[in-house]
Chain A
Amino acid sequence: MRSFLTKRMIQTLVVLVGVSLITFFMMNLAPGDPFMMDPEMRMNPEAVARWKELRQLDRPLHEQYYSWLVNLLKGDFGISLIHNRPVLELITERLPATLLLTGTSLLVALLFAVPLGILSAVKQGTFLDKWISFFTLCGVSLPNFWLGMLLILLFAYHLNWLPASSLRTVGVAASFYDYIKHLILPVVVLSTGSAAYYIRYIRAGILEVIGQDYILTARAKGLKESTVLFRHILRNSMIPVVTVVSLSLPFLFTGAMVTEYVFSWPGMGRWIIMATLSRDYPSVLAVNVIVAALVVLCNLGADLLYAYFDPRIKYR
């Protein structure tokens, strides 16, 4: 186990350096320049040069990268070229709103997906299974942008029951109830798609296990159906679900860019889009490296969970 973990840590480091290197050079080779977000700066080339010099953008690319890497090892993600503030500060300002939205959506999605996935598999071929399959097909097919606008039109415009934007009502005292009101529509949008995916995975996983000989044996032993289902079927059908859920965890961090835009949610997604469009190299680098690290860690977590769900899996 220890050598497995050591190997994975080394792989993680290689992946992170690779991701940062590729991101850094791709960003710099892409057309454009951070100062172009203010087209009027073109009017004074001398000021542009000084602006770049102050941000050390006039140095050769390899020197810039090396300096960024050294600072990263000290825990410094650099200073945003657009906001002139530490990137870490910009992330921590936006992360709570994103985690609130994406975390709630994940919980809601799982809350619906697990029972519906089980029901769909256990009642395979029935009216209920067909209805759930129809829902999952719709959930997977509906683009978030379209669903979001539709819900806004219905619940915010025509019925005026729920707000169309933001995460709280400005100008009134913050309350739990107010946050819930603002969360409903974006959470419905985000969780609809992911719940649909999870239902499909859970259903497929259960159907694969349900026909195995050991399930027949369990039933022949006279075990209660609920014991068969939860102890034997569900546990063994969890591996594909663990894979898909753990791979979606890193994206809790980056947020849901389209949904955040539609509902004017003040999270990471909008900021990442702006940072990319404005060639804010340190911000984009930091996000990519953090996401890469999370992907690697979540994969590692999934590997360890496989061993928990299926004792036949051993790591050396």
Chain B
Amino acid sequence: MARKIFLLLLALMLMLSVLGCTPEESPQEQLRVASLGSPVNLNPLFIRDNFSFEVVSLVHASLITFNNETLEVEPSLVKEWSVEDEGRTYVLNFNDNAKWTDGTPLTAEDAAFTLRVICHPDFTGYQYALFFNAITGSQDYHSNHNSPLADGSIEGIEVIDENTLKISLDRQMAPFLTYLNFFPLPAHIFGDVPVAEMEAHDYSRNPEVTAGPYILNQWVTDEYLYFVSNPDFFLGQPEIDEIYFRIIPNQEAQLIELINGDLDLIPTAVKLEDVEELEKNPNIKIYSNLRLVYDYLGFNMHNPESPLYNKEVRQALSMVLDREALVRDILLDYGRVAYGPLTPLHFPFDENFQAYFVDKQKALELLKDAGYDEGFELRLILNAGNEVRENAALMFKEAAEAIGVEVTIQTLEWQAYMEAAMQGDFDVIISGQGSDPDPDLTFNWHSQSPLNELGYVNEEVDSLIEEAAVALEQAERTMLYREAQEMIVDDAPMVWLYYREAVHGASDRLMNFKPHPNNVFYQVHLWKFK
């Protein structure tokens, strides 16, 4: 009987090997990219997840873009611009060869229309409140526009001619140019669509009229999206003819497919522990780059009764965690220690300021000065499924206990975690903070920001941030942000942990792939195979 079983297994193995041997090589001009999840909505104004953003950047074109190394504003649909009236007026000149895939020219009116959608009272994105309420007349439009359509006009948005758009602001706003990194909608498609119905419009699933480097040809749910190059793309037809955006949630499966040659690119999601092995493979190239995000360990400062309300306690807790070890042992050196709110990619970044380093003796002294030398207890929350943060939490717990602070770690499912974060139901939270290419600290550090979940209040910092937001000279802004950073760090509202690098794995045949802090498909039209 054992012999029969052996023969049966042998036959099965032979059958499998025959199945595996049949050649099914895909053509060279196909790029196969892996994604951990499915996009949800391909209307660029209603992107609510990273997967959708990646796909949207393939099929849509933005007004401006950012250099992958310097983050300086680069032309895109807008080929040149001028800033007038002491920073209150922006005149944008559009590329005259840009057109939608149905042949209609992409004009300044499309951008004006998109801005009207964003400022419309029925629009449910965050862009209006954050970026565009400084446009003259936008607040009036947002409050009083009665039509369900994005029709009418906004005083500060003027279409001079087909290729020229003038935007006037009612106050100076230094980062305004960077806010123009949005993807315009085709006005001739959406002109008759009520703004309230745009998110659920068929376009979100089938964006037939687009202007980006690729055209969506097929979307097979949860399996793949198939794109073909846009022959009329205004920067030239992409070198690679077709892209398959494959949805593979299992990271190990992604890796195996890359090694087997069934994938050409794993953007961002290569596991750190796999990098060493991949680097030995001559057919695979590893890329890594910093992003505009850092993880932190934040202190809840809402409650005056809490020890964390005391600055000296927070400073003491900032001196216990060995962040160098965290980056070395947990991030395997794919990252940098963070010491303050400005990321190394931002122009005002400067490492020469008074930061906190491990000093247990000093921490104990500070606790004693604050009257907490008997120790106290803290509840730390973090989201489940992030191994690096889980390790950071354990390291902090151990380090804090060395100065008499008992830390209870609570790992929560995402929604429960977010609710706890928003309601301030924690003592310490591990979270991440992202920022825009402009170093503006308003959203993350101004006391009135809706994102101020830690309850950080420093009026001097508020003033510096407000001043920097309207200063037009980069040197002046640099000085103001550095000053604000020093004050924020001195207040120790959080322990900045690390800037984690994105690690990408690509076939060595892929050329011109340039990792970008917030755009996987940066200059995708120039990518090609060897």
A160–B16 Cα distance when bound, in Å, is: 10
B351 at the interface (CB under 8 A from A): no
Chain B: minimal CB distance from A275 (Å) = 12
Is B207's beta carbon under 8 Å from chain A?
Answer: no
> Which residues from 14 to 43 on chain B have a C-beta closer than 8 Å to any C-beta of chain A?
16-17, 19-22, 24, 26-27, 30, 32, 37, 40-41
A37-65 interface code vs B (CB 8 A; 1 in, 0 out) = 11111111111101100100000000000
Interface membership of A264, Cβ < 8 A: yes
Q: Looking at the complex, which one of B1, B20, B130, B254 makes contact with A43 (CB distance below 8 Å)?
A: B130
Contact A264 B19 (CB under 8 A): no
In the complex, A97→B221 CA distance in Å? 10
- Cross-chain pairs A/B with CB under 8 angstroms, 24 sampled: A32-B416, A36-B415, A36-B422, A40-B126, A41-B48, A42-B422, A47-B128, A48-B124, A50-B121, A54-B196, A94-B222, A131-B1, A155-B16, A157-B260, A166-B248, A169-B262, A170-B26, A170-B224, A171-B30, A181-B19, A261-B249, A264-B248, A264-B253, A277-B415
Contact A83 B40 (CB under 8 A): yes
Q: Give a binary string over A121-157; 1 marks a CB under 8 Å from any B CB, 0 the rest.
A: 0000001100100000000000000000100110111
Contact B26 A171 (CB under 8 A): yes
**Is the beta-carbon distance between B226 and A44 smaller than 8 angstroms?**
no
Please tell me if A165 contacts chain B, counting CB pairs below 8 Å: yes
Residues of A within 8 A of B48 (CB): 37-38, 40-41
Interface size class of A (residues with CB under 8 A): 35 or more
- The smallest C-beta distance from A218 to any residue of chain B, in angstroms, reads 28
Query: What 1/0 mask marks residues of chain A from 74 to 111 whose CB sits below 8 Å from any chain B CB?
Result: 00000100111100000001100100000000000000
- Is A163's beta carbon under 8 Å from chain B? yes
Q: Which of B197-205, B362-370, B465-473 contacts A (4 or more CB under 8 A)?
A: B197-205
CB pair B41 A166 closer than 8 Å:
no
Name the A residues within 8 Å of B224 (CB-CB): 166, 170
Tell me if B349 counts as interface (CB < 8 A to partner A). no
B26 close to A172 (CB less than 8 A): yes
Whether, in the assembled complex, B414 has its beta carbon less than 8 Å from a beta carbon of chain A, the answer is yes
Q: Cβ of A26 < 8 Å from any Cβ of B?
A: no
What residues of chain A lie closer than 8 Å to B137, measured between beta carbons? none
Within 8 A of B (CB), among A243-297: 261-264, 266-267, 270-271, 274, 277-279
A17-33 interface mask toward B, CB cutoff 8 Å, 1 = contact, 0 = none? 00000000000001111
Residue in chain A with minimal CB distance to B423: A31
Mark contacts of B447-459 with chain A using CB atoms, 8 A cut-off: 1 yes-contact digit, 0 otherwise.
Answer: 0011100000000
Q: Which residues of B contact A50 (CB under 8 A)?
A: 121-124
Question: Using Cβ atoms and an 8 Å threshold, which residues of chain B touch A270?
Answer: 222, 249
- Residue A207 is within 8 A (CB to CB) of chain B in the complex: no
What 8 pairs between A and B have smallest CB-CB spacing? A32-B415, A161-B20, A266-B222, A38-B48, A84-B200, A171-B26, A44-B126, A51-B124
- CB-CB contacts of B182-215 with A at 8 A, as 1s and 0s? 0000000000000010011000110000000000
